[in-house]
Amino acid sequence: MTDTLDVPRVLVRTDGALGRLTLNRPEAINALDFGMVRLLAGALEAWRDDTDVQIVVIDGAGERGMCAGGDVRGLHAQIVAGHADEAAEFFRAEYALNAMIAEYPKPIVSIADGITMGGGVGLSGHASIRIVTERSKLAMPETRIGFTPDVGGTWLLGRAPGRFGEYFGLTGGTMSGADAVLLGFADHFVPSDRLDALREALAYRADPTGPAEIVLLFDETPEPSALPESRGWIDEAFSADTVAGILERLHAHDAPEAAAAAEVLEALAPTGLAVTLDAVREARELPGLRAALEGEYRRVMWFVTRHPDLVEGIRAQLIDKDRNPRWDPASIADLPADAGAGAREFTPEPGLF
């Protein structure tokens, strides 16, 4: 797929033994659309048995970020127009791409330089070698629009230490590169000014068993993450059984950061928070990424077809930009006891895999 100026939205090329996939919508921080998902999947499929391509690198064009996520304005238009089937088709293709990246028979190196959020984490977080930089800003911010993390985000959140998964999943908070390594969203920290040299080394010293060793030559120790200092109150509060329980514990804690987290949660969609809490905890017990993607697909399509908060959240944040969403229900206190059950048990047709 191309834009109006016929500039490819994904640059697909080879460089030595390296297959390179570069998201190429820098004006939109490389936000994913359906055509880009198809191009990425098609290139990976073509290179699967190509002996000339030994390693694949996925990155983004421009200085702002790898990928800011999916086209949520387009999703809003599809839902409002009654085209839930089109939304479902996109999600099935995107999640199949996430699974393909995770299961690919050749090493995939992702470079999450700059903003990498939502769908961008789905591309970067499941690669076999995951790189961040001092400019990296990772997040699963779906609750900010009344939604729930997807693209395998619940799988990653569920495997973060302690209750950081619940914290970042519910608040939609941003991770630095150092945070991402600590939480298991990335493997290596490479300064951004060394990325070109790293790509060249991968291309011309490529060995199907050795890209991790090449990356280690460029790996540096970042400034320590500040997250360990907050683990005490995060684990205490976000281990509560319900969103209301989490909020109560946050209000009872002395840490200023706990009060700030409570303020964030109180502004977000109660239903999205409940569904996300349920999803992260379910994913923590699942056997693999595909199972997590299936759980996410059920919840995502429940929002698309059964609940108004996703449309309302996109409207308030990105369409009308009045920042005054009318959530259903409006208050965390009004959530039913098992608020995540409807989304968890929803059965979309057709299924994901």
Report, as residue numbers or ranges, the catalytic residues.
Answer: 70, 119, 142, 150
Dig out the tokens for 11 from the structure: 């640059």
User: Which residue do the tokens 């089109």 mark?
Assistant: 86
CA atoms within 13 A of residue 123's CA, in its CB half-sphere: 35
Count helices and strands in the chain by DSSP H and E runs? 16, 9
The amino acid at residue 334 is: D
Strand partners, 196: none
The residue among 167, 172, 148 whose CA lies nearest residue 227 is: 167
Could you give the C-alpha distances from 51 to 101, 105, 205, in angstroms and in order? 18, 12, 15
Tokens read off for 260:
């700030």
Q: What is the DSSP string of 192-237?
A: GGGHHHHHHHHHHS--TT-HHHHHHTT--PPSPPSHHHHHHHHHHH
Q: Are 121 and 183 in contact (CB under 8 A)?
A: no
Is there a cis peptide before residue 329, judged by omega within 30 degrees of 0? Answer: yes
- Which one-letter amino acid corresponds to residue 75? L
Q: Which two tokens stand for residue 304?
A: 């698309």
Rounded CA-CA distance 37/207 in Å is: 27
Angle at CA of residue 36, ends 35 and 39, nearest 5°: 90
Closest among 188, 121, 190 to 156, alpha carbons compared: 121
Backbone torsions φ then ψ of 268, nearest 5 degrees: -95, 170
| Cα-Cα-Cα-Cα dihedral sign, residues 243, 246, 248, 254 | negative
**How far apart are alpha carbons 203 and 19 in whole angstroms?**
8
